[in-house]
């Protein structure tokens, strides 16, 4: 029979192997929760709201400012064959973002917020400056006077849309975990540029609807997501910020333009995957 010393040595050797295997297994479990080096993709939809803004319209024979103009978004009525159809996915107010985790908590991302901005026709605002309808020889002068924004006078909307293309940095935290489900939060800041497709018809001129780099934006955000198996999630996000567009195209003539600045708030609901 082997001596007690040999048995002890064998036992110690086996125990060392078990401990090494257990330690390696723990590392694998932890790696499943690690985010560093992972990518993620979000896709979903938004509703948005905007502060009132002063809008200046300029052309060869007109130059006027409208004070405190109000606007709303225009979310599409829900239909499954609209929201989930690859041919029409860009019709609703949608969001798309792809990101990368620099560390387990810190990520950078780039994406587009396809919001819609619709000036409210029929509202009464103050106007200062001069206007000239194409079918009239008269140049009208205004000095902080009230005017009703009729469709004949002005139609102005970024409905294809108010495209905010931004990059942001986010800090993610796991808040709760239960079996294969976990709750996470994000806070972050971002900046980007606006590429609206502005639908405008001004003072009887031909309708114009084209993409144009119009300005920049700044934003902050907070988000919460429910994750399944640490990889699949649904997310709700609230974002707020400031948009400045000094170079909005309003007609086919590049001389004509509009400018405005306003605050925005956006609520999104998205699906995502981390890989």
pLDDT, tens digit, for every residue of 152-168?
A: 999 999 998 999 999 99
Per-residue pLDDT, 20: 53
Per-residue pLDDT, 27: 43
Per-residue pLDDT, 33: 67
Rounded to a whole number of angstroms, the CA Rg of the chain reads 28
Distance between CA atoms of residues 189 and 171, nearest Å: 10
Per-residue pLDDT, 202: 96
Residue spans of the chain under pLDDT 50: 1-4, 6-7, 10-12, 14-15, 17-19, 21-30
pTM: 0.85
Per-residue pLDDT, 9: 57
Q: Do strands 124-131 and 140-148 pair parallel, antiparallel, or not at all (unpaired)?
A: antiparallel
């Amino acid at each position: 029979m082997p001596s007690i010393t040999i048995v002890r040595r064998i036992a110690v050797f086996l125990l060392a192997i078990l401990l090494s295997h257990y330690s390696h297994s723990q590392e694998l479990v932890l790696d499943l929760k690690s985010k560093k080096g992972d990518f993620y993709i979000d896709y979903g939809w938004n509703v948005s709201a905007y502060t009132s803004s002063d809008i200046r319209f300029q052309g060869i024979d007109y130059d006027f400012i409208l004070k405190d103009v109000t606007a709303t978004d225009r979310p599409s009525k829900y239909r499954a064959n609209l929201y989930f159809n690859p041919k029409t996915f860009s019709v609703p107010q949608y969001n798309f973002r792809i990101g990368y985790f620099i560390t387990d908590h810190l990520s950078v991302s780039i994406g587009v917020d396809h919001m819609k901005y619709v000036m409210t026709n029929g509202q009464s605002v103050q106007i200062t400056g001069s206007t000239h309808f194409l079918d009239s020889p008269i140049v009208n002068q205004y000095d902080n006077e009230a005017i009703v924004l009729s469709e004949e006078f002005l139609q102005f909307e970024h409905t294809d849309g108010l495209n905010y293309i931004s990059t942001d940095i986010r800090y993610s935290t796991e808040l709760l975990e239960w079996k294969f489900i976990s709750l996470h939060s994000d806070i972050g800041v971002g900046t980007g540029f606006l590429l609206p497709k502005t639908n405008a018809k001004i003072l009887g001129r031909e309708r114009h609807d084209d993409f144009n780099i119009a300005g920049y934006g700044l934003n902050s955000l907070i988000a919460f997501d429910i994750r399944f198996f640490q990889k699949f999630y649904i997310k709700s996000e609230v974002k707020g910020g400031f948009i400045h567009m000094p170079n909005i195209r309003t007609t086919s003539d590049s001389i004509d333009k509009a400018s405005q600045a306003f605050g925005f708030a956006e609520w999104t609901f998205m699906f995502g995957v981390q890989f």
